[in-house]
Structure 1
Amino acid sequence: MKHLVALFVLLFPLNVVAEVVHYPADTEQPAQLVVHGALDVSHIRPLLEDFHRRHPHIDLTYRNLDTLPLYRRFLASPDKADILISSAMPWQYRLANDGHARPLDTPGAQDWPAWARWRHELFAFTFEPIVMVVRRELVERYGRPDSHTELLATLRDHRDELSGRVVTYDPQRSGAGYTYAIEESRLSPRYWDLVTALGDVDTSLVDTTGEMLEGLSEGRYWIGYNLLGSYARRVVNADPDLEMVVPDDYTLVIQRLAFMADQAPHPSSAVRFLDYLISEAGQGVIAEQTSLGAVHPALSGPGTADAWRAEHGNALRPLTLSPGLLATLDDLKRQALLTRWRREFGREDASR
């Protein structure tokens, strides 16, 4: 494989920095492919490299952005990317529902499980639980919180000791964080109590799981709440001071959604790449070389959705790929939820 070129570029007009990787083709007149994704390069690299090995005549460029900048950039320039990948499921669904997705008409698309696609335009190709990560110090001193109920009790019982040592998403700045907030508010009647407890310990609010993991690894935080399990697993496996907790009362599961842009500048290459993502070959790479969780029905064992289900059963609560996702983006409902979130986060716990 030719040398991989990596660089950072400033993306106008959104004033955000994206990591860009480029796989040059091995021919003088290559086909082109541009993929924009909210998926860290370290996690998608095995897929990019395998695809490029299979299709060396395609000049492949991948740009990694956060979820909301990705969405806004696409709306500003819907003809600049062939494939869009994001874990912010409501935003991906809205784009497809608004006519920005091109149908994929291949045998793989026809056979893809109905629960993991919308029409033949939007495809879920990963299975990623949302987890907690805790440091050894917390477990040794206060025990391991194995559920949301136990986390709430830990935060309330050790408020002073944990002040400044907890981190989670900012739902106002992060599309993923907002998605988790609205889903949890539907799932648990104690969710708002938990938000208040997070505020009471001066929880740090950040935009990405990567920021949470960095702070946890450095020891600045002892509890990380609502991290992408796919990202957390790799870091936790390499750090004996960290533990990943899959809550046993309920665990949200998100899925990366991918679609071909209706105005894709290179539609033939887009078809090849999207079909690869949902192929047994592409899903095999996900299962064997990443922690993203393969969903192909022919695959089971480590690294697959089946393995997660076998270990955690009914605690897993996947977000449903349905029109219900659009309700989460209603402007009035969004503002109402964020207003309440800020209010509860800033409220002192009256039980103390």
Structure 2
Amino acid sequence: MIARLSALALTFLSVLPAPLAAQEATARYGSGDTPFLLRSTTDIAILEPVIARFAERNPELTVTYEQWGSNALFDRSRDDCRGGGAVADAVFSSAVQQMVWLVNAACATAYRSPATEALPETRRWRDELWGVTMEPAVIVYNTRLLAGDEVPRSRFALLDALRAEPDRYRGRIATYDIAESGLGFLFAYADSLEATTFGSMLEAFARVGAVATCCSAEIIGGVAEGRYLIAYNVLGSYVATAAGDEVGTILPEDYTLVLSRGYMIPKGADRAEASGRLLEFLLTPEAQAMLATAGLVADMAAPETGLAPSARRSIPLTPALLVALDRNRRAQLLTRWSDAFRRAQVP
């Protein structure tokens, strides 16, 4: 099936020159006369089968898929909304606090259907933003270097491990740099509200020289190679698609954050009708099964996860996320974070 779709898709990847470095890569699918522009934070390789299938079902379209970093995509979408550039036909981002901001700023087009109305309330807002995926934030570890009781299955266990053996973990704990990653900031913000362990975790990260970095691929690759023993708050979908046997994942037993990537039809989109069709397709059983294969839809209720229902914490698409972008709140969290990681770099 994938081979047949790939044959249909006219696909290429290209790293763009410095002036457009925020746009990481581009791919095209289909060969129709009508252009359709999708901007997303999701790696092209992960979403390719789904978008290729959509292009196959809509042969009049040529779908251009632009892959962006979350902060850069937010800045571009905000500028477009203000009349500063060519508006995308659809935007799909993991940094859902930024998507809520865009909707609140009247940057979205409304759409409603039985499929969107069937979504849980936590995954839709004002008929202008929809959560398409279900992805947990996980603890990742190197299976060759940690085993059995050494593997922390909660934040409390991770804290105990860092306190008991700081030299073992020095420089070998990784997480997102929340100043660079909108997704990383969202997870840190959710932790700061949810976890009594948040302050202690920052202190522990500082003591063991934890590493803050931008990207899921770098973090997961570092764990696989053994440069990092543990990575914290990594989006589970990227682990599922990029990792091998040397990388294990834990759904933290104290609580596991669950993200639904947000889909929005920008105000002024030239092909809003086709954007609605893409949303409808993403919510079909066919596309949801493909997304599950790609690691973007996890069955959090499956018995094998071992996760109690009370430990599942969905990040809802609500105006409450706007607090995460409040200038003072954001500055306070970034200051706490940077202070911890500045101390982490001191020998």
Could you tell me the TM-score, scaled by structure 1's length?
0.88
Helix, strand or coil: the match of 1:120? coil
Conserved? CA contact 1:8–1:17, under 8 Å: no
Equivalent pair of 1:130/1:227 in contact (CA under 8 Å): yes
Gaps of 5+ in 2: 1-6
SS class of match (1:19) = strand
What are the superposed Cα offsets for residues 54-106 of structure 1, whole Å, 9 maximum, x if unpaired?
Answer: 11221101011111011112222344311101111110100011111111133
Aligned identity (percent) is 30
Q: Contact 2:96–2:261 at 8 Å: present in 1 too?
A: yes
Partner of 2:258: 253
* Alignment match, 1:98: 105
CA RMSD for the aligned pairs?
Answer: 2.1
Superposition pairs of residues 238-317 of structure 1, within 5 angstroms: 239-287=244-292, 289-293=293-297, 303-307=298-302, 311-312=306-307, 313-317=309-313
Distance in 2, matches of 1:101 and 1:307, equals 35
1: CA distance between counterparts of 2:89 and 2:138?
A: 31
Moved more, 310-319 or 151-160: 310-319
CA distance in 2 between counterparts of 1:65 and 1:106 reads 28
Secondary structure at the counterpart of residue 69 of structure 1: helix
Distance 1:37 1:242, change over 3 A: same
> 1:187 and 1:320 mapped to 2: Cα distance?
13
Residue equivalent to 2:48: 45
CA shift at 1:265, angstroms? Answer: 2.4
**Structure 2 residue identity aligned to 1:88:** A
Distance 2:49 2:143 in 1: 31
* Cross-structure match for 1:321: 317
When structure 1 is superposed on structure 2, of 12-21 and 327-336 the one drifting more is 12-21
Does structure 2 retain, via aligned residues, the 8 Å contact 1:20–1:64? Answer: yes
Counterpart secondary structure, 2:265 = strand
- Equivalent pair of 1:167/1:224 in contact (CA under 8 Å): yes
Per the alignment, in what secondary structure is the counterpart of residue 205 of structure 1? strand
State the alpha-carbon separation in 1 of the partners of residues 281 and 18 from structure 2.
30
C-alpha displacement at 1:310, in angstroms? 7.1
Residue 62 of structure 2 corresponds to 59
- The offset of 1:314, in angstroms, is 1.7
Give 1:215's aligned residue: 222
Deviations 1:273-307 (A, max 9, x none): 122122333223223x32111xxxxxxxxx44543
Q: 2:123 aligns with which of 116, 119, 122?
A: 116
- Give the deviation of 1:16 after TM superposition: 2.1
Give the aligned partner of residue 299 of structure 1.
none
Q: Which residue of 1 aligns with 2:13?
A: 7
Asked if 1:139 is matched to 2:142, the reply is no
Which amino acid in the other structure matches residue 196 of structure 1?
E
TM-superposed CA distance for 1:125, in Å, is 0.8
Structure 1, unmatched stretches of 5+, are 294-302
Give 1:183 shift.
1.0
Determine the structure 2 residue equivalent to 1:298.
Answer: none
**Displacement of 1:17 after TM fit?**
4.1
Offset at residue 220 of structure 1 (A): 1.2
- C-alpha contact (below 8 Å) 1:170/1:177 kept by paired residues: yes
Q: Counterpart of 1:307 in structure 2: which amino acid?
A: A
SS in 2 for 1:32: strand
Counterparts of 2:154 and 2:231, CA distance in 1: 13
Question: Residue 234 in 1 paired to residue 275 in 2?
Answer: no
- The reply to whether residue 150 of structure 1 matches residue 153 of structure 2 is no
Deviations 1:10-45 (A, max 9, x none): 3785532421110132x4xx2221100011112211
Task: Classify the secondary structure of the residue corresponding to 1:180.
Answer: helix
Q: Which runs of 4+ in 1 moved over 3 A?
A: 11-15, 303-311, 344-348
Aligned partner of residue 39 in structure 2, secondary structure: strand
| 2:78 equivalent among 75, 80, 86 | 75
Is the CA contact 2:212–2:341 (under 8 Å) kept in the aligned structure 1?
no
CA distance in 1, matches of 2:145, 2:15: 39
